[in-house]
Structure 1
Amino acid sequence: MSLSEFESRARAWVVENVARLGFDRVDDPYDVAVFHDLGFDEEKALLDQHRVWQKVKLEAGYGALDWPEEFGGAGLGADVAEAFSRIENDHCPLRPHELFSVTMHLIAPTIRLLGTDGQKREFLPAMLRGDLLACQLFSEPEAGSDLANVGTRAVRDGDDWVITGQKVWTSGAQFADWGELIARTDPDQPKHAGMTAFLIPLDAPGVEIRPIRQMSGGSSFNEVFLDRVRIPDSLRLGGIGKGWSVALTTLAFEREGGSNSANVGGQFDQLLATARTLGRDTDPRVRELLARVYLRQKLAQVDVLRDRQAREADAAPTAVGSVRKIQWVDKLAAVSEAARIILGRDLVADTGVPGTFGWNAHVLGAPGYSIAGGSDEIQRNIVAERLLGLPAEVRVDRGVTWREARARAAAATA
């Protein structure tokens, strides 16, 4: 069938099944938060609804439109998947949840590319059904932007690995079933060479998850502590010492999908409505800031089109994803600046005027995305080196083993 015929059928199916499942539309025109502020039970209920919706979609052929048929997908093109996503955004009232996005768009594709046949059989069908959710166990207290500095240790013990360490800023870990973990397996190799990736069950003995309360109110992120967690070698993802390549694969999918988050937080229309409500829409400074937001929102739409073209051409993820991430973060910052100027002191106090105090959640949450998914500084380094061909940043630890680099850093701070 033609794309327009597909869209008509898909739209009718989504509308019918959203009504059948009883998903109530809860759109809040004043919801401009970057991170949600849900209680544990509310957040779990939202994820349960996403699980149901994903299973219903998959059974009807809509759950994995651009995945190969051998893995349970429909084997259709990116244009079809993109069309369904637009329809779903318009007609399905479920609020998005990052854990579902990480599972479906980051970890599942990584397993599809790098996993063993056994791992693909075990994980991919369950992930595509929504039965199994997985988080990223990458960042650590001393390995954030410098991800290759991870210190969580995995030691071989016969056919098993014993893992000890700490991860932090893990989105959705308190609800995840599994995690994709990067650990140090050889401290006597340079830091990029001594890491290995694993798939780890988060209900294993020795795993402790502690939610982190954010200043914007929610608890999206977590600390994850691993105390001699034992897993079989069959859960190793990729080769021993190849963890950096696995991490880069997952991060490439993350940056490739950055425009999927283009609608997170406040939008131009909401800012304009707020300015008009307060009578600030004729202020020259406010109009200048609104124009800046409008332009960056249009750039985000261009990003979506570029993503679609790249997927249609079956192109591998590239450093262009870092450009998109920088542009998107800049748009969030532009929205926050406009909200501060429009609202003034009303930003920090609920005066009862509809649509005003809600901007406080955006301003508090937006800075988080200048760090999440790789800091702005890291993204600019990637663009400079991989797109512009500029010299690589000087690294004093080049060729030095991870153990020696850690010793030098400890001596320098002593």
Structure 2
Amino acid sequence: MSQPPRPDVEAWRTQVRQWLAGVLEPAGAPEPTDEVRAHADLAVFHNLPEDDERLLLERCRAYQRARFDAGYQALTLPKDKGGAGLSAAHAAAFAQEESAFEVPPSTELISVTVRLVAMAVSLFGTAEQRSEYARAFLRTDLLACQLFSEPGAGSDLAALRTRARQDDGDTSRSSEAAGGGDWVIDGQKVWTSGAQFADYGLLLARTDPDVVKQAGITAFLVPMDAPGVEVRPIRQMSGGASFNEVFLSGVRVPDRLRVGRPGQGWEVATATLAFERTASGTGNRRKGGNFDDVLALARSLGRTQDPLVRQRLADLYVRSALRAATVDRVARASAGGGRPGPEASLTKLMASDLLTRTGQTAAELMGARISADTGEPDTFAWTQHLLGAPGYRLAGGTDQIQRNLIGERVLGLPGEPRTDRVPFSELPGS
């Protein structure tokens, strides 16, 4: 059966603009006063009290629900997967129009729910899972966190040790062949954003230790209120606690919450991480300070005529423009092809590098002013950026991992020597 033609981009853009004007205020608020700028939010990761975080989540969810109901969520996801089935050009047009309005600032949990978990369930889940869960995640009726990283499996995620065994009363069948029944999960996850507010977690667990490590992993949707799930906040050096440890002790998950086939978890993970790396360079929540903030700081300190400062500012501006152009190019390619490829590592690497350079430039401009809160506008607030930026070089895969992916999968360079092409159970420490 032939698919109906996609709407003309420019006519569709007009509809989008009219809809946005009905639900959001135009962008371009007046320049903030010094009193407001003195308390500017330059945090890379949220450092909000729990009540304030809940209020922010509700603001975000209200917009996401309105966007879903209007048919503007998951624009490039095929219709048979629950999306709008539009082109990359439509997605780019929506983003351009949206930038002209005051969109509620997103959070890590909203981004993970809509851009990662919802997409993973849409692509790998059953028809029932897409209907019951992917739709709810896209609309943020349910919130989902990502249960991937472990204390001993961060950059080498395939080395994860959280185990899931099937308890269906028939021990004669292997996990690969078994169907139905419950899975019993034991292990620990770490660096989980928003776990304290999530309804579900997309979890990776080892279900077969007798194959190579990538082949023995399975993905599950785990209810975060299930017996045996314990969430413990991790206090960051910037003062907030937006990350968590999650402990799983005898957690029973029905087989209907398995995402993909047994042993397909690594494929689910790599697709999800590609979406994460794309999202890391985009989104409407500002992460830390940006070039405009640094320029405003230099002006307030009377440093813009210093030739060395001007050189640093120019370098920062060029890198900001290059990152924006790369984000747009990779997003278009990813949207056109369905799943983001390893090129998404480019946006993640550029984003973390830019955050680091932005903080360094601000610190050099301020000198000792950054070390104490004197009430002077645009000074001590930069400590939130400086303390958060190093963590961004780890989130979504370290900078070193991104360079490996770019070298091997984008540039086609020879891969690193590997010594772990043996069953996981034969690896040291397994």
TM over 0.5, yes or no? yes
Report % sequence identity.
50
Of 365-374 and 385-394, more deviation after overlay is shown by: 385-394
In structure 2, what is the equivalent of residue 151 of structure 1?
161
Asked if residue 54 in structure 1 is aligned to residue 56 in structure 2, the reply is: no
Cα RMSD between the aligned structures? 2.3
Asked if residue 304 in structure 1 is aligned to residue 310 in structure 2, the reply is: no
Asked if residue 268 in structure 1 is aligned to residue 278 in structure 2, the reply is: no
Pairs within 5 Å for 1:9-408 = 9-18=15-24, 30-70=40-80, 72-158=82-168, 159-261=181-283, 263-311=286-334, 313-314=336-337, 316-399=339-422, 401-407=423-429
Which has the larger helix fraction? 1
Amino acid of the residue matched to residue 128 of structure 1? Answer: L
Amino acid of the residue matched to residue 241 of structure 1? Answer: G
1:183 Cα deviation (Å)? 0.5
1:74 Cα deviation (Å)? 3.3
For 1:90 and 1:214, how far apart are their aligned partners in 2?
A: 34
Q: Deviations over 1:137-195 (max 9, x none)?
A: 00000001110110111011001110011000011111111111111112232222221
For 1:208 and 1:372, how far apart are their aligned partners in 2?
A: 22
Secondary structure (helix, strand or coil) at the match of 1:313 reads helix
1:389 Cα deviation (Å)? 2.3
For 1:26 and 1:165, how far apart are their aligned partners in 2?
A: 49
Amino acid of the residue matched to residue 393 of structure 1? Answer: E
Q: Deviations over 1:77-99 (max 9, x none)?
A: 23223332343344234221111
Q: Is the 8 A contact 1:15 1:92 kept in 2?
A: no
Of 233-242 and 67-76, more deviation after overlay is shown by: 67-76
For 2:139 and 2:336, how far apart are their aligned partners in 1?
A: 27
Amino acid of the residue matched to residue 110 of structure 2? Answer: F
Q: Deviations over 1:301-321 (max 9, x none)?
A: 211331343146336422211
Any stretches of 5+ residues in structure 1 without a counterpart?
Answer: 409-414
For 1:390 and 1:69, how far apart are their aligned partners in 2?
A: 37
Q: Is the 8 A contact 2:278 2:331 kept in 1?
A: no
Of 202-211 and 383-392, more deviation after overlay is shown by: 383-392
For 2:426 and 2:350, how far apart are their aligned partners in 1?
A: 38
Q: Is the 8 A contact 1:182 1:198 kept in 2?
A: yes
For 1:176 and 1:42, how far apart are their aligned partners in 2?
A: 16
Of 335-344 and 107-116, more deviation after overlay is shown by: 107-116
Q: Deviations over 1:37-85 (max 9, x none)?
A: 1111111111112222222222223334334444554333232233323
Amino acid of the residue matched to residue 246 of structure 2? Answer: V
Secondary structure (helix, strand or coil) at the match of 2:94 reads helix
Amino acid of the residue matched to residue 235 of structure 1? Answer: L
1:13 Cα deviation (Å)? 2.9
1:25 Cα deviation (Å)? 11
Structure 1 360/52 Cα, relative in aligned 2: closer, same or farther at 3 Å?
A: same
1:259 Cα deviation (Å)? 2.5
1:209 Cα deviation (Å)? 0.7
Structure 1 25/171 Cα, relative in aligned 2: closer, same or farther at 3 Å?
A: farther
Q: Deviations over 1:238-270 (max 9, x none)?
A: 121222111111112222333215952211111
For 1:72 and 1:156, how far apart are their aligned partners in 2?
A: 30
Amino acid of the residue matched to residue 38 of structure 1? Answer: L
Structure 1 50/312 Cα, relative in aligned 2: closer, same or farther at 3 Å?
A: closer
For 1:270 and 1:396, how far apart are their aligned partners in 2?
A: 47
TM-score, with normalisation over the residues of structure 2?
0.87
Of 76-85 and 347-356, more deviation after overlay is shown by: 76-85
Amino acid of the residue matched to residue 191 of structure 1? Answer: K
1:376 Cα deviation (Å)? 0.8
Of 222-231 and 387-396, more deviation after overlay is shown by: 387-396
In structure 2, what is the equivalent of residue 411 of structure 1?
none
